[in-house]
Amino acid sequence: MIEEAVVSQRQVVSEFEQGLAPQQFHHADHVRMAFAFVCEFPMPEALARFSAALKRFATSNGKPQLYHETITWAYLLLIGERRERAGKAQTWEDFAEENPDLLIWKGGILERYYEKATIESDMARRTFVLPDRVLGASAAEVAP
């Protein structure tokens, strides 16, 4: 089953890089696609390739302003960490079942890591910004 999933992921990645994705591409679809890239490539390459493909996708749909670097990279990094912690190969279905918090968009996991003003900033949209919340508390609350 894992072997079939690998073939499927390669196909999904290839199609997305060619711009073949449904116009209705919701949060869970983004996470699914990011999972495939993280499975296929070392993290630096996954970050570069998925970001480039997602930018092309947004531009081809007339919405280049929707691309958000911090959100994109944060999810890829979280997926990579979760896969490593699992300590085993996983299909998308297994991963999604074990990590439902990554599939929630509004009120989702990034609120644990980022202040609202940070994630909504132009800088966070343009470039990856490190999290500014620590263990659910704002960095200002725990700073010495």
* pLDDT per residue as tens digits for the range 80-115: 999 999 999 999 999 999 999 999 998 899 999 999
Cβ distance 34 to 64 under 8 Å?
no
Per-residue confidence (pLDDT) for residue 144, from 0 to 100: 41
Per-residue confidence (pLDDT) for residue 31, from 0 to 100: 96
Per-residue confidence (pLDDT) for residue 143, from 0 to 100: 42
Q: What residue has token string 């947004």? A: 58
Q: Residue 101: which of 130, 66, 136 has the closest Cα?
A: 136
pLDDT below 70 — which residues of the chain?
1-7, 22-23, 135-144
Cβ distance 100 to 28 under 8 Å?
no
Per-residue confidence (pLDDT) for residue 8, from 0 to 100: 78
Per-residue confidence (pLDDT) for residue 3, from 0 to 100: 55
In the chain, helix, strand, coil percent, each to 5? 65, 5, 30
